[in-house]
Amino acid sequence: MKLTMRLGARSYDIILKRGCLKNLHQFTDTARRRVFILTDSGVPAQYARTVLAQCPRGSVYTVPQGEGSKSLRVYGQVLGAMLAAGLDRKDLLVAVGGGVVGDLGGFCAATYMRGIDFVNCPTTVLAQVDSSIGGKTAIDLGPTKNIVGAFWQPKLVLADPDTLATLPPRQVANGLAEALKTGLIGDPQLFALFERGDPAQALEQIIYRSLCFKKKTVEADEHEQGQRACLNFGHTIGHGIEAVRGVSARRKTGLYHGECVALGMLPMIEDKALQKRTRAILRKLGLPTALRGDKRKILAQMQHDKKARGGAVTVIRVPGLGCWRADTVPMDELGALLGLETEALE
């Protein structure tokens, strides 16, 4: 399947097809230019090798797996390696991996020589349903997520569902949390795929529907001046939880991004029956439904969230299936979202 993200001069194709990783050279010039292939140590090396085989002037650079690589230190190392590889403004960076490699690689491409071409080959469910399209690239500053970044659209996205065969089940569920987010805010049929059958059996359809909704949203509001904010549903609380309980370079155990988003969505669903249905889906997927951990620490992180502006935070609420609303919540009322007054999350 091919989708086209229509953004004028920054338009690009999104290919969703089994085995498409082998065909990168058909979609972009990999023969004549230098190609810097960025991957991480947890991505099976065969995927970067598949890309390398199509790039006579290619090289592979591998960063350590995990959110810790979205750091200024690793960012500097990658830029140094790009310079050492002799990349110039006409060359190409290809990210092969999950959201970490995509966010880091996209930001390196956005800033190296004031911007070079970037192709994203997402290999996790999370990256295929969400992070690989839309042009948001970023790294973290300590526990503060995505605070240094740029809008930099890829030239092409190649989502090959075959690469998901090696993904551990917990990572599959982690990515499905972002797709469930999409169903809740804007696609009841996508929600139904989760509710009715086995989501693992409908993976390609789930990826396709998620990409369609995100594409439409980004086309309408590329730089998040308005409606693109709906994609942040679950993320205000989610990022707070991730900063405190997330898997990081310092802490090897904890919760993944999608797991934190899952927890962040529940209290923002206003319709109690829908909240119950969502909780049942989260259980079915093996995602967490109860927030454990120090809520005061999570609150402190939320107050540092980059979306905090002028003493207030914009949060996305879902009043009913397939619709959403942006609300401005004063800083001192954020605790209520976490159930610090009422134990809404338990």
Ligand X SMILES: NC(=O)c1ccc[n+]([C@@H]2O[C@H](COP(=O)([O-])OP(=O)(O)OC[C@H]3O[C@@H](n4cnc5c(N)ncnc54)[C@H](O)[C@@H]3O)[C@@H](O)[C@H]2O)c1
Complete DSSP assignment for 208-254? HHHHHHHHHHHHH-TT-SSGGGGGGTTHHHHHHHHHHHB--SS-SSS
Per CB under 6 A, 108 contacts ligand X: no
Per CB under 6 A, 130 contacts ligand X: yes
Residue from 257, 263, 305, 345 in contact with ligand X (CB under 6 A) = 257
Taking the complex as a whole, the smallest distance from the CB of residue 188 to ligand X amounts, in Å, to 22
Find out whether 337 and 315 touch, Cβ atoms under 8 Å.
Answer: yes
Q: Which is nearer to ligand X, 34 or 159 (CB)?
A: 159
Per CB under 6 A, 222 contacts ligand X: no
**What are the angstrom distances between the C-alpha of 110 and each of 33, 84, 180?**
18, 18, 30
Taking the complex as a whole, the smallest distance from the CB of residue 67 to ligand X amounts, in Å, to 5
Per CB under 6 A, 234 contacts ligand X: no
Q: Which is nearer to ligand X, 55 or 243 (CB)?
A: 243
Residue from 127, 185, 203, 229 in contact with ligand X (CB under 6 A) = 127
User: What's the token pair of residue 200?
Assistant: 């693992």
Taking the complex as a whole, the smallest distance from the CB of residue 276 to ligand X amounts, in Å, to 26
Q: Which stretch binds ligand X (CB under 6 A): 16-24, 51-59, 98-106, 332-340?
A: 98-106
Q: Which is nearer to ligand X, 33 or 122 (CB)?
A: 122
Residue from 171, 210, 232, 248 in contact with ligand X (CB under 6 A) = 171
Find out whether 338 and 293 touch, Cβ atoms under 8 Å.
Answer: no
Question: Positive or negative CA dihedral for 154, 159, 165, 168?
Answer: positive
Residue from 5, 21, 36, 40 in contact with ligand X (CB under 6 A) = 40
**What are the angstrom distances between the C-alpha of 292 and each of 34, 89, 243, 247, 288?**
47, 47, 14, 15, 10
Q: Which is nearer to ligand X, 104 or 338 (CB)?
A: 104
Taking the complex as a whole, the smallest distance from the CB of residue 336 to ligand X amounts, in Å, to 25
Find out whether 98 and 120 touch, Cβ atoms under 8 Å.
Answer: no
Per CB under 6 A, 131 contacts ligand X: yes
Q: How many Å is the Cα radius of gyration of the chain?
A: 19
Per CB under 6 A, 123 contacts ligand X: yes
Find out whether 263 and 238 touch, Cβ atoms under 8 Å.
Answer: yes
- Number of residues in the chain: 346
Interface residues with ligand X (CB under 6 A) are 40, 42-44, 65-67, 70, 97-101, 103, 123-124, 126-127, 130-131, 134, 136, 145-146, 163-164, 166-167, 171, 174-175, 256-257
